[in-house]
Amino acid sequence: MTSLNTYFEVLKWASSFLEESNLESTLAEYLILERKMWTKTDLLLNFKKEVPQEELVLFESDLNQLAKHVPVQYLIGSCEFYGRRFLVNEHTLIPRPETEELVELILKENLNESKHIVDIGVGTGVISISLKAERTNWHVMGFDISKEALEVARENAKQLNEEVTFLESDVLSNYHSSKKIDILVSNPPYIDVDEWEEMDISVRENEPKEALFAEESGLAIYKKIATEAKNYLAEDGKIYLEVGYLQGEAVAAIFQASFPEKNVQVIKDMNGQDRIIKVI
């Protein structure tokens, strides 16, 4: 890459390199924008400027990591979610756009009045922190079994100056509050272990397996949540869950059996796939 001088030349070469590696060429532009903290306009204005040597070295290293299927978010160390920037690392799942739809639905259906919220399987903390940021009167708690993920979630809350309580817990086993839960939300591990070979190689080789896979055809955690939630959910409490696109009816049946008095709905995402279970 030493013969390349300008941002335009580097971007053109990097795009070709990624295409030859069967990767999206747009990742090249994304990397430059993220590393430089630029907008697309900034990039255009700097197209003819020479790239400093230390940037070239880092960029080439990034590209080689991408070619080894390391997710770009792990290289950058952060990603955007619901208008905010969150730290991510190999101990946490990379937040997906579908999860933004889950957050959006909860906010749309619930006003900023005092409520007790519990998020199971927080990962980076994007759901918990986003809800607290948008609904300042809510008291939000987040549980995860991963100490490393909880460290990331706490750091995200600190950097975004949001007060969320993060605790180590297997589902609700460490929930000791006397307050009943008004809103229970979870994006738990839901991929069937038999689907390992079908997954994208970058996910399979880099993202934490304990945050991806669940026993019983991916339904084990939902069954545990449905059983334990009966003891802690307020009488008029609500449950919102993200599910795999083929799991809608199965998860709905699990929660209808646990909460026969409630209305259980399967909600589709922007792509028309079953994605959210709502129990109200």
pLDDT tens per residue across span 124-162: 999 999 999 999 999 999 999 999 999 999 999 999 999
Which CATH superfamily is 91-279 part of? Vaccinia Virus protein VP39 (3.40.50.150)
Q: Which residues of the chain have pLDDT under 50?
A: 2
Q: What is the pLDDT of residues 88-121, one digit of tens each?
A: 999 898 999 999 999 999 999 999 899 999 999 9
Predicted TM-score (pTM) of the model is 0.89
Please report, for the chain, the start and end positions of each structural domain, with discontinuous segments joined by +. Answer: 7-68, 91-279
Q: Which pLDDT score, from 0 to 100, does residue 66 have?
A: 93
pLDDT at residue 130, as a whole number: 98
Element (H, E) at 220: helix 220-229
pLDDT at 196: 56
pLDDT of residue 218: 78
Beta sheet of 274-279, edge-to-edge order: 165-168, 138-144, 115-120, 181-186, 233-242, 274-279, 264-268
> What distance, in Å, lies between the first and last C-alpha atoms of the chain?
57
CA distance 132 to 111: 12
